[in-house]
Structure 1
Amino acid sequence: MNGLLATRRGAITAMLLAVVIYGGNFVVTRHATLNGLSPNDLAALRFGVGGLLLLPVFLRAGAATCAGVGWGRGLVLAAMSGLPMVLLMNTGLSLAPAAHGAAIQPGTVTVIGAVGSIVMFGVRPPRIVAAGILTVLAGLACIGIAGGTSGSRSIVTGDLCFLAAGALWGLYPLLLQRWQVGAIVSTSIVAVLSMAYLPVYLLGSPGIMRVDALVVAFHAVNQGLLNMILGLWLWGSAVRTLGAAEAQRFPPLIPVVGTLLAIPLLGEWPAPVQAVGVALIVGGLAIASAGPFFAARRVATRS
């Protein structure tokens, strides 16, 4: 399997599979919240399954030092991509259409990543990247206007949850870069530390007890195995083969997948202004992601 992923064709296939997993998760999670599972239930499934599976990785890296990063940094990482981020995303999906989450969250990640790179590392984005970010912001504004004029407070609240989740997720890779933490180790830290939520969840009234066991098992696999472990492994393996510049051309497909899947699976057709917003975000992500690729080509041409 590793040999296959080392080829260009295998790496592209792995990246596309990861895109389907992450884009489809917005639709699957939205469906779960509409059919009996709460944001708390889904978070418990995600970290219960993912935490148990990744516990050996965490212990092997050193529990005393929080897998080698220190407990202070470990807790910060867990806050950025663990329980708070997941609860915000799941809550958003219980209130607003899946297409909103699939567009707003990756769009916010891109904006936070660009701004954070300037502040933390002094990296000035090329003009094409800046243009892409401005396009994303315009798309976010369109979705915000559409939600505000729809008269639905729940949609506005859901969109704000997506913005907050995107902000946390956007800061997460910046901290990984600053602290030089590997992908699998960081994921094990987030999953294992987030398991601290399970006793609190079980002391309440676990919603999964009232849902069909097959439905619970399906979402346990989706949350804990597909999104937390498999998607990350596929993405990281593909990046090692393709390189960061080419890999950045794939994230714009996430909102496309999420928006398209929401139509047949959830019957969620975006309103005209919302559709414009989603299109702007997808276009902006594509422009911003293509920036490093074109910059690298210009450098290669000059040399």
Structure 2
Amino acid sequence: MNQPMPGADASPQKSDAKPALLGVACGVGAALFWALGFVATRHGLKAGFTPADLLMHRFLWSGIAFLPVVLRAGLGNLCGIGWGRGLALMVLGGPVMSIISYSGFLFVPLGHGSVIQPSCATLGGVFLAAVLLRERVSFSRLAGAVVIVGGLVVIGAESIGHIGPNGVLGDLIFVLTGFMFAGFGMLLRYWRVSAFAAASVISVLSLVLLPVYAASGGFARVAAIGVGENALQALAQGILAGPAAMYLFAFSIQLLGVARAAVFPAIVPALTILVGWLLLGEPPTALQAAGLVTVLSGFYLAQRQR
């Protein structure tokens, strides 16, 4: 009887590990770009941009860049995705979700949106993966989700006690957009939409809002703010937090599944608060810091394999 060579079963493990590591790298990269986008949003609102202006930067430049690609692949079926699915993805992960999220920063500080929205995206993603996609969710991942909820309770307590009704409204906005993005990730997996197709189709479909923005005098408004500030938003929103983060996150879903990839948005709070502190001079409050530590502890549990 032939005996297996020593280490003969090691190559499948290595081959399995490589896509997993790539998926983790893509997820972390997406989280970093989202964090930069949150900080740029807060800065842009202070500089005089409106949520509609930031939305324009988020999708205009990428939409123009991806338009020839979509036209060449076929506008009739939107690169094989289909109009119905494309519009659903645009609502849950495109300009509709984005402008709602931008509006939340008009009511609450940077730390709230950067913690609540990604955390709810994580919770929603784990739930949808287990219930609708039948993906296996480990006990530690469920425990991490519960701990993340505890962190959200701490953050919400500050809104009620110190910011008032407007603060509660702002936090609820980020709860909504977090679950919207969870639905976006679930549909990507369920419909098996590729990362590049998702990024390109959403960007191009968002161009339909451009005439409305132009008619409202938006271009004149942003021109008055200055070239430097607009270039900053074009980079942060139009490249990093927009199509680049969307592509990386969608690719991580393909490699890891929804349940595992859904954990990556929970990295965003730590990166956002850290970068916001360094670049905007907005240190976290004691309750924000406590909520942040709690959320990160939940993330540590949720990323474990067992």
CA RMSD of aligned residues (A): 2.6
Q: TM-score, normalised by structure 1?
A: 0.84
Question: How far apart, in 1, do the equivalents of 2:253 and 2:26 lie?
Answer: 10
Question: How far apart, in 2, do the equivalents of 1:205 and 1:154 lie?
Answer: 28
Question: How far apart, in 2, do the equivalents of 1:180 and 1:237 lie?
Answer: 11
Residue 230 of structure 1, CA deviation: 3.0
In structure 1, what residue type is equivalent to 2:54? Answer: L
Q: Is the contact between residue 25 and residue 222 of structure 1 (CA under 8 Å) also seen in structure 2? A: yes
Map Cα deviations across residues 40-65 of structure 1 (whole Å, 9 max, x no partner): 00101111111111112322332001
Change (3 A) 1:185 1:101: same
Question: How far apart, in 2, do the equivalents of 1:123 and 1:9 lie?
Answer: 19
Given the alignment of the two structures, is residue 266 of structure 1 paired with residue 306 of structure 2, yes or no?
A: no
Map Cα deviations across residues 216-251 of structure 1 (whole Å, 9 max, x no partner): 1221122112222333455567788xx528877754
Which residue does the alignment assign to 1:23? 35
Given the alignment of the two structures, is residue 97 of structure 1 paired with residue 109 of structure 2, yes or no?
A: yes
Map Cα deviations across residues 153-193 of structure 1 (whole Å, 9 max, x no partner): 33322212211111111100101111111011011111111
Paired-residue identity, %: 31
In the TM superposition, what are the counterparts of 1:228-243 in structure 2 within 5 Å?
228-233=242-247
Q: Is the contact between residue 86 and residue 201 of structure 2 (CA under 8 Å) also seen in structure 1? A: yes
Residue 95 of structure 1, CA deviation: 2.5
Change (3 A) 1:7 1:184: closer
Question: How far apart, in 2, do the equivalents of 1:141 and 1:10 lie?
Answer: 33
Which residue does the alignment assign to 2:239? 225
Change (3 A) 1:272 1:125: same
Q: Is the contact between residue 103 and residue 282 of structure 1 (CA under 8 Å) also seen in structure 2? A: no
User: Over alpha carbons, which structure has the higher Rg?
Assistant: 2
Q: TM-score, normalised by structure 2?
A: 0.84
Change (3 A) 1:235 1:177: closer
Which residue does the alignment assign to 2:6? none
Question: How far apart, in 2, do the equivalents of 1:11 and 1:117 lie?
Answer: 17
Residue 267 of structure 1, CA deviation: 2.6
Which residue does the alignment assign to 1:56? 68
In structure 2, what residue type is equivalent to 1:209? Answer: A
In structure 2, what residue type is equivalent to 1:186? Answer: A
Given the alignment of the two structures, is residue 38 of structure 1 paired with residue 60 of structure 2, yes or no?
A: no
The number of residues matched between the two structures is 285
In structure 2, what residue type is equivalent to 1:82? Answer: G
In structure 2, what residue type is equivalent to 1:79? Answer: V
Question: How far apart, in 2, do the equivalents of 1:67 and 1:8 lie?
Answer: 27
Larger deviation, residues 24-33 vs 252-261: 252-261
Larger deviation, residues 188-197 vs 148-157: 148-157
In the TM superposition, what are the counterparts of 1:1-303 in structure 2 within 5 Å?
16-206=28-218, 207-233=221-247, 244=256, 251-290=265-304, 294-295=305-306
Map Cα deviations across residues 246-281 of structure 1 (whole Å, 9 max, x no partner): 877754432111011122322322222222212212
Residue 8 of structure 1, CA deviation: 10
Larger deviation, residues 266-275 vs 140-149: 266-275
- Structure 1 unaligned residues grouped into runs of 5+: 1-5, 296-303
Change (3 A) 1:7 1:165: closer
In structure 2, what residue type is equivalent to 1:227? Answer: A
Change (3 A) 1:232 1:151: closer
Q: Is the contact between residue 95 and residue 154 of structure 1 (CA under 8 Å) also seen in structure 2? A: yes
- Structure 2 unaligned residues grouped into runs of 5+: 1-17
- Partner SS state of residue 287, structure 2: helix
Q: Is the contact between residue 252 and residue 286 of structure 1 (CA under 8 Å) also seen in structure 2? A: no
In structure 1, what residue type is equivalent to 2:166? Answer: S
Question: How far apart, in 1, do the equivalents of 2:94 and 2:251 lie?
Answer: 22
